[in-house]
Amino acid sequence: MRSATERTEAEERDATPREGADVDRILETLVYLYTESRRVTKEVARQHGLTGPQVTAIKVLENFGALSLTDLSARMSATNSTMTGIADRMERDGLVERIRSETDRRVVQIALTEKGRALAAQIPVASMALFADALRSLDERDRRDLTRILRRLTDKVTELVGTNGD
């Protein structure tokens, strides 16, 4: 007869999480958060006759002011070529303008026009507000831990995929 603390192999296997199950659960969570963010952004974009990336660009420019194409691309985690197309369409629609730097004529910044600023003021940052509310529900230690872990994860992903402008 075995003691209460002894387990059969089957019991041990069932009690031990499957290798990689924690990684699977984290990936499911990341996919869920990404999907919800995109869904909310797409809905807001649709209401304003824009695409999701255009909404993101408008809100980034509203928050940070005029940015070079490279800086805007980096803040949106987009390639320069993708961002060029987005900026071209937004410029065509009168939402942004390209402004050449007076100190360095090689530098061109993307800035919201008056029409773009007015539109930005009407667009809620629904997905960011949703995440901010969820993050505020965590205690300070959990937020610190999450920040530390997300930084490490970001660094590793950056290392694995490499980063270049295009």
Q: What is the mean pLDDT of the chain?
A: 86
65-104 pLDDT, tens digit per residue, is 999 999 999 999 899 999 999 999 999 999 999 999 888 8
44-57 pLDDT, tens digit per residue, is 899 999 998 999 99
Instruction: Please provide the DSSP assignment of 78-137 as one string.
Output: --HHHHHHHHHHHHHTTSEEEEE-SS-TT-EEEEE-HHHHHHHHH---HHHHHHHHHHHT
Q: Which two tokens stand for residue 86?
A: 């987005």
Number of domains in the chain: 1
CATH number, residue 35: 1.10.10.10
Q: Which domain holds residue 84?
A: 20-124
pTM of the model: 0.66
The helix/strand count (H/E) of the chain reads as 8, 3
> Is the predicted pLDDT of residue 6 greater than 60, yes or no?
no
Please report where in the chains the tokens 């509310």 appear, as a residue: 133
| 86 belongs to a structural domain | yes
| 114 belongs to a structural domain | yes
| 163 belongs to a structural domain | no
pLDDT value of position 161: 86
